[in-house]
A and B are shown apart, each in its own frame.
Chain A
Amino acid sequence: MVKEKLFLNDQFNQKVEKDLLAHLLPHKKVGNIFIFILLAIILVGIYAYYRQLRYGLIVTSMRDYTSWGVYISNFVFLVAISLVGSLFSSILKLSKATWSTPLTRISEIIAIAAIICASVIIIVDMGRPDRFINVLIHGRIQSPIIWDVIIITTYLTISVLLLYISLIPDLAICRDKLTDAPRWKKWFYKVFSINWHGTPEQNNILHKVSFMLSVMVIPVAFAIHTVTSWLFSTTWRPGWDSTNLGPYFVSGALMAGAAVIIGAMYFIRNALNLKDYLTDKLFDHMGKLLVLLSLVYLYFNINEYLGPAFKMVGVEGEHIIELFFGKYASMYWLVQVFGLVLPIVVLVFAWGRKPLPMLIISILVLLGAWFKRFLIVIPSLQHPYLPIQDVDESYRHYIPSWEEWAITFASFAGCLLIITFLVKLLPVIPIWETKKEEGGEPKQLEV
């Protein structure tokens, strides 16, 4: 019986290794078309940025009142997405939700891609990117922007470490098994597996370090999005002047992050043929998680708008009317209904937690999340304390220019390109954790 079990474990582990390494070997050309499209989008974005560098921010639709636009709202969106890394490799891991193990790697990859693109976008928004060095030379710790710079670099560092530490055993497997890989890949696996042989001592260190990192990343992850919310709540603006903004942003970020993972699961399981690992059961779990996170976000949404909408104080009230009934009303209600309420309604039913409905819902959630950040940034700027007068009519409206859209899409493409590259380089599902867990307690394979 014991022998039988060991044999089965061995068989199982071999299958796991074979399946999860398959996507690292040279592939059909479908992936290349995808990469080509991404590169094309990025090139258009680079051209738009070249125009912006040459002529100034005048190529955008931002003007003196709407002085922040889609760059900033997209930055907030990307920072929100990056929170997903900590959700899986820390919060779910520490709460011993073992079902989430296959998703840790992809969540860390997405987190890193999003945070890199967020940093790029914030530089794109600067009027004088050539003076970025001033942030280091003349940085004032009193300014929330400096807090953001510090916390983003910290979070990026910890995220890279989290990804890398849990990768080491898998890189060693790649080193040992992928003898057909291109030379540079073999070199990469050899160097970065830093002589890993899975000895008890090595395992011990690995567990300690990854536990420490997963504890450390929680406050940093909360801080990164709370500080981003403080960029708004530390200003003297109706609509931003709210103590609710921190948890409101964090909860929205976790919800958007879960949606990103669902989308990523869907495409990876189909593109890389990993249906045995990214199972329907896993979609079901993710659906339930998304409902929970959506409910939390719904709560903070109500909390954010009810007070001001009840009191309707001055400009704050005008801002609320603009959102509820004014020129932003259609966007506002589409976002709230299709990006927040509908997902909750659909996902509470079991049929709603099947892969395809989940994909559709996650796309809705992401669109909602992106436009929600637009609604947080732009209408507030258009409702200053003193009326907007004595300026050109165009200063009262904001419709992003093609350059802004091109750069925004390029940031998404850049994000996807980094993810694609890392998925082609690294085992997208942690092999050693899958082996250990299912191999150690082979419930499905028990004879």
Chain B
Amino acid sequence: MKNKAADHRRKFLKSSIYAGVSAIAGTSLIQGCNTGASNAGEKVKLLTTDGTLVEVNQSNLTKMSHQPVSPDEARKGIPGRHFVMVVDLSRCRNARKCIKACDHHHQLTPDRPFIKVLRMQDNKASSPYWMPKKCFHCDNPPCVKVCPVGATYKRSDALVLIDNKRCIGCRFCMAACPYSARVFNWGKPKPQKTDHSYSPETSVPSQIGTVEKCDFCPDMLRQDKVPHCITACPNGALYFGDQIADSVTNGSETVRLSTLLRDKAAYRYHEELGTEPNVYYLPPSDRLFPFKEAPEGQPS
């Protein structure tokens, strides 16, 4: 893994152009250098990280596909961000498109979904509602506290991720998580198609005997995109954004986070446990849809 990371960095040096060198972690080629430069013989000036200016033949440069960061780099958060999710319970009708998109993106089988949609009923008098549930990416995460090897960790951008190359499979985190957010690879995961190496930011490929969970799609966040479940929701029930920027989006509208939470009386599940989740819920009042029981055949 170390070698791959080093290789990675070398490629990065080769491909960064002097005009636009910024200090983002070594991931992608900064494009734009080949505008009007189809000539094979054309030289491009590049700045290496030690400050030397080099001229490289344009034809020697290859455009890199987007590579997820290495497990070591995935331990650092994206600087200056604090990601949050808001779930508007009044808009969820158990369409399960978020689960589908998530399963597809993370190449999951139905026996270990990262997202579950629970049928909740707070008391006998109130109507049932659907509750999409992922990892809450707690600010005081029980799973991180109990992990004996630091395989699951908290980042500066609020994400809680798992390094499945370090996980020893003790499942203490599963016992500790009060929200049952974690799934385990009890058997060999079905072969997954991927053209890049493992990263905790993609959770692909899965490994037998290790824990997994919703990761908030950090590979998408690095590209300034939102997680797959957000865009998949047909009803705009899921908002995602940045607490520091104070804005969240559900794909069609972008709103101010603090206003949304205040005006809609947002709450978090089991606040009394002190886990400080980063997933807020808006109460299921003034619903977009009447509650309908799950169809036959859906696991309950």
Q: A124 to B169, alpha carbons, bound, how many Å?
A: 11
**A243 beta carbon closer than 8 Å to chain B:** no
The answer to whether B184 and A57 touch across the interface, beta carbons within 8 angstroms, is yes
A63 to B186, CA, bound (A): 7
Asked if A127 and B168 make an inter-chain contact with CB atoms under 8 angstroms apart, the answer reads yes
Contact check, B116 vs A390: say whether CB atoms are below 8 A apart.
yes
Is A55 part of the contact surface with B, judged by Cβ < 8 Å?
Answer: yes
Which A residues are CB-close (under 8 A) to B291? none
The verdict on A387 contacting chain B, using a C-beta distance below 8 Å, is yes
Q: Which residues of B contact A57 (CB under 8 A)?
A: 169, 184, 186-187, 209
Chain B: CB-nearest residue to A147: B148
CA distance A140 to B146 in the complex (A): 9
Q: What interface size band does chain B fall in? A: 35 or more
* Contact status B300-A389, CB under 8 Å: yes
Q: Is A184 an interface residue (CB 8 A)?
A: no
B290 at the interface (CB under 8 A from A): no
Q: Are B150 and A236 in contact (CB under 8 A)?
A: no
Q: Which of B175, B208, B275 contacts A381 (CB 8 A)?
A: B175
- Whether B209 pairs with A236 at a CB distance below 8 angstroms is no
Chain A interface secondary structure, helix, strand, loop or mixed?
loop
Name the interface residues of A49-74: CB closer than 8 Å to any CB of B.
Answer: 55-58, 60, 62-65, 67-68
User: Quick check: which of B45-53, B117-125, B233-241 contacts chain A, the rest being far away?
Assistant: B117-125
Set of chain A residues within 8 Å of B171, measured between Cβ atoms: 67-68, 127
The one of A58, A68, A388 in contact with B175, judged by C-beta atoms closer than 8 angstroms, is A68
Among B179, B188, B209, residue most surrounded by chain A Cβ atoms (within 10 Å): B209
User: How would residues 129 to 154 of chain B score, 1 for a CB under 8 Å from any chain A CB and 0 otherwise?
Assistant: 00001000000001001111111000
Q: List 5 A-B contacts (CB under 8 A).
A: A55-B187, A128-B167, A134-B151, A146-B148, A385-B178
Contacts of A388 in B (CB 8 A): 180
**Choice from B166, B182, B183 contacting A134 with Cβ under 8 Å:** B166
**CB < 8 Å: which of B151, B175, B210, B273 contacts A67?**
B175
- Verify B148–A139 contact, CB threshold 8 A: yes
Interface flag for B174 (CB, 8 Å): yes
Q: Is there a chain A Cβ closer than 8 Å to B268's Cβ?
A: no
A contact residues around B145 at 8 Å (CB): 142-143, 234
Chain B residues near A (Cβ < 8 Å): 111-113, 116-120, 133, 142, 145-151, 166-172, 174-180, 182-188, 208-211, 269-270, 273, 275, 298-300
Do B116 and A389 touch across chains, with their CB atoms under 8 A apart? Answer: yes
Are A127 and B116 also in contact (CB < 8 A) when A140-B150, A143-B148, A236-B142 are? no
Q: Please name 17 further chain A to chain B contacts, defined as beta carbons within 8 Å, in addition to the given A56-B187, A385-B273, sorted by A numbering.
A: A56-B188, A57-B186, A63-B186, A126-B168, A127-B170, A128-B209, A138-B149, A142-B145, A143-B146, A143-B147, A146-B148, A231-B172, A235-B146, A384-B180, A388-B180, A390-B117, A390-B298
Evaluate contact between B120 and A387: CB separation under 8 angstroms.
Answer: yes
Contacts of A385 in B (CB 8 A): 178-180, 269-270, 273
**B174, A67: Cβ atoms closer than 8 Å:** yes
Residue of B nearest to A141 (CB): B148
Residue from the list A65, A128, A137, A232 in contact with B180, Cβ < 8 A: A65
| A7 CB, min distance to chain B CBs, angstroms | 63
Judge whether B183 and A392 touch: CB under 8 Å.
no
Supposing A64-B183, A381-B175, A386-B133 touch, asked if A138 and B150 sit within 8 A by C-beta, the answer is yes
Q: A64-B182, A135-B168 are in contact. Are A127 and B209 (CB under 8 A)?
A: yes
Query: Do A64 and B112 have beta carbons less than 8 Å apart?
Result: yes
CB distance from B139 to the nearest CB of A (A): 15
Asked if B169 and A126 make an inter-chain contact with CB atoms under 8 angstroms apart, the answer reads: yes
Nearest 6 CB-CB pairings of A with B: A127-B169, A127-B209, A58-B187, A236-B178, A145-B148, A390-B116
